[in-house]
Structure 1
Amino acid sequence: MAIPWGTVKSLLIFFAPILLPKLFRWYSSVKNAPKMQGMQIRPVPSGVRRALFLLFAVSAVLLLRISLPIFSPENIFQVADARLQIPVDVLFNRLSKLRPNGTLTPQDHALRTKFVSLESRLLYLQFGPSVLADCPFCTSDDPKSYLWYALPDLLAPHLVNLIAIALSTSQLFTSSKSDKGDANVTRWRTPATLAAIILAGLDIYMVSTYNYQLNSRATRLPDLDFFFWTARTYRSLLLAGLDLLLAFLLWLSSTNRAFLNPPSPAERVESVTRTLMAAKSKLNAAGVVKNAASRDDELLRRTTSYWAHEVRLMQDVMEEREVIEGVNDALQNRIDIQNITRDAEAYAKGVVQGVTYSKA
């Protein structure tokens, strides 16, 4: 039953002032999460690119499966533009005129033997042509027999999609030579797997509980519910949507844009320690170079000459009229000398106290 636009408008007017601020706050928190946790946005890791390509490929196949007529099972009632109660001979005579060379296919002949009853035609709309034509043990007296035969084809896209989800969230599949995989990828395995299993369960439930007898009252072609083809379309759309949503979540988490796993305190301490050790190594190297330059007469002479040249160049620059005017203007109008003097004194006291404390 369609919801009136007035009701929708009233709900939007009531809930929008409540939900929109929360939505903006959530978006702001997600956007600023990397900065708040000291993490930077990074490119997509090479292993995650493989997972994204796999998910996009499976989604493309699922969408092509319902968009291209060559991959869609034929509905002979639509092809022949016939109502459900049409006589069998009239239906297949009309269908043979539409076939190449006027010859019916083996599937057409199999369906012709089954369409002697209205029950079989109703089951055709529920399970599709291949199930009704190829099942060797199914009878219209036992409609559930068609369901058991249709289950493998029904579950096939779900199983393929589940394999794609398992691979794309596998640390082994998303790892590369430069890294051992991304923990932000494997975290989505359980939710994505549960979502795929729930979709498969709902699909089986909808097919098994569908009341195919409703089509028996339809006297015109537009009144028929082509359940098999409709369910096939929605099945592919939902599976493709799940894959695309998973790909989007993998992209967000692997690039540190959202859903971050902040480093533990031990990891932060280790990172700071590594940074300090690297800085200490550079200072030691600089000290060694300076010591070597001080002990070598030629290097000492060149160093002294370089700094003497720099000092003379700086003096020449500072003596230019434009520079002097700019410095005076900054000192008079833009810089508070008293605050700078106060900060310098505080800094000098802190340094002296730190040196005195270290000596003590």
Structure 2
Amino acid sequence: MAVSWGTIKSVLIFFGPILLPKAIGYYRTIRAGPSANGLTIRPLNPKVLRALSLLSLTTLLYLLLSLPPSAPENLFERTQSRLQIPTDVLFARLSSLRPKNVLTPSDTALRNKFVNMESRTLYLQFGPEVLANCPFCTSDDPRSYFYYALPSLLSPHLLNLIVLSIATSGLLVGLDGSKWRRATVISTLVLAALDVYVVSSYNHQSNAHRPRLAELDMFFWTARVYRLLALAVLDVAFAALLYLSSTNRAFASPPSPAERVEAVARRLLMTKSKINAVGIVKNTAIRDEELRERMRAYWQHEGRLMREVMEEREVIEGVNDALQNRINIQDISRDAKTYAINMLPKAEDTVQETVVG
């Protein structure tokens, strides 16, 4: 039953004010999720980039296969014949379009199958390959054609499931891809089940009462295009989800408590190693007689030089003027305190830097 544009507008006007604010709020929540969890935008991982490239190539392949030149030949459209045309006339027209006016083995097999109107309507439902090659199918049992067509019907979904499994493999892509593994399997199974249901429940006999070619429902060819486009959309959707989650733009998962503790411990261990290295250098300098004398001489020279500078008249006047008119001792004390506190990173900053890095 067709839905008029007026009905669609009425539904949008009624539900729009209710659904639009919720959609905007949901979008803002997703966008604010990474920042709320202390995460920042990060560059795309090379492993994720390879997965996105695989999904892009698969999507492009589906789009190319959905174009008319890639579709199986439709005898009625090719010969511009109506469904009720006599079999001899139909294949006579077809032979005139073949090289050297010779029918192919597939054409001959189809000619032997076109024994009644039922077989022609099944041709429009399942396509030429199923009708020509099925060894046990008969028009008296239409379900037999469906059973024979089922493997070829499920093969694109199975292939796409393999591609999505590779793109979300934890071994090849990492945690960024494995988090979407279950969703890809469920989506593929739901799409495959819907496809099987639509094909199995189609009423092929509806074409028997349509006398003109333009009125025929070319179900097999239409369903094939929709199937490939649906698979392409599915791959694009998961590629977008993979990109957003891997760069922390959306759907980002905060680090677990165990990961936070591990990050803090790792950062503290690095800080301890640096302090130990400084201590080793200092002990080496003090224990070595030559280095110790050079250090003592440096600080003696530095102290004497600073005393001489501070005893000059111009320096004394400048310091007094600055202390009286320009320098706020409280601000200097506060800055010094802030510098001392920030000498070592805080614990939460350590976790955030480690997780982001």
Counterparts of 1:232 and 1:220 in 2: how far apart (Å)?
23
Counterparts of 1:251 and 1:345 in 2: how far apart (Å)?
44
Aligned length: 327
User: Which segments of 5 or more consecutive residues in structure 2 lack a partner in the other structure?
Assistant: 342-357
CA, structure 1 residues 304+29, in 2 after alignment: closer, same or farther (shift >3 Å)? farther
CA, structure 1 residues 306+118, in 2 after alignment: closer, same or farther (shift >3 Å)? farther
Counterparts of 2:149 and 2:66 in 1: how far apart (Å)?
18
- Aligned CA RMSD, in angstroms, stands at 3.5
Residue 216 of structure 1, CA deviation:
0.7
CA, structure 1 residues 27+88, in 2 after alignment: closer, same or farther (shift >3 Å)? same
Residue 343 of structure 1, CA deviation:
5.2
Aligned 8 A contact 1:293 1:300 in 2? no
TM-score (norm 1): 0.79
Counterparts of 1:309 and 1:233 in 2: how far apart (Å)?
87
CA, structure 1 residues 59+304, in 2 after alignment: closer, same or farther (shift >3 Å)? farther
CA, structure 1 residues 285+192, in 2 after alignment: closer, same or farther (shift >3 Å)? same
Residue 307 of structure 1, CA deviation:
9.9
TM-score (norm 2): 0.79
For 1:139, give the aligned amino acid. Answer: T
Residue 339 of structure 1, CA deviation:
7.5
CA, structure 1 residues 13+144, in 2 after alignment: closer, same or farther (shift >3 Å)? closer
**Correspondences of 1:182-197 after superposition (within 5 Å):** 182=175, 184-197=176-189
**Partner of residue 139, structure 1:** 138
Pairing 1:297–2:293 present: yes
Counterparts of 1:129 and 1:312 in 2: how far apart (Å)?
103
What per-residue deviation string (whole Å, max 9, x for no partner) do you get for residues 308-346 of structure 1? 999999xxxx99xxxx9xx99x969xxxx5984895799
Pairing 1:209–2:201 present: yes
Aligned 8 A contact 1:114 1:120 in 2? yes
Q: Percent identical across equivalent pairs?
A: 50
Residue 39 of structure 1, CA deviation:
2.2
For 2:126, give the aligned amino acid. Answer: F
Pairing 1:229–2:226 present: no
User: Which segments of 5 or more consecutive residues in structure 1 lack a partner in the other structure?
Assistant: 175-180, 351-360
**Partner of residue 272, structure 1:** 264
CA, structure 1 residues 72+281, in 2 after alignment: closer, same or farther (shift >3 Å)? same
Residue 242 of structure 1, CA deviation:
1.2
**Partner of residue 347, structure 2:** none
CA, structure 1 residues 346+160, in 2 after alignment: closer, same or farther (shift >3 Å)? closer
What per-residue deviation string (whole Å, max 9, x for no partner) do you get for residues 282-309 of structure 1? 3443454456567533355567778999
**Partner of residue 356, structure 1:** none
CA, structure 1 residues 345+138, in 2 after alignment: closer, same or farther (shift >3 Å)? closer
User: For 1:172, what is the secondary structure of its paired residue?
Assistant: coil
User: For 2:172, what is the secondary structure of its paired residue?
Assistant: helix
Pairing 1:31–2:31 present: yes
Counterparts of 2:306 and 2:221 in 1: how far apart (Å)?
82
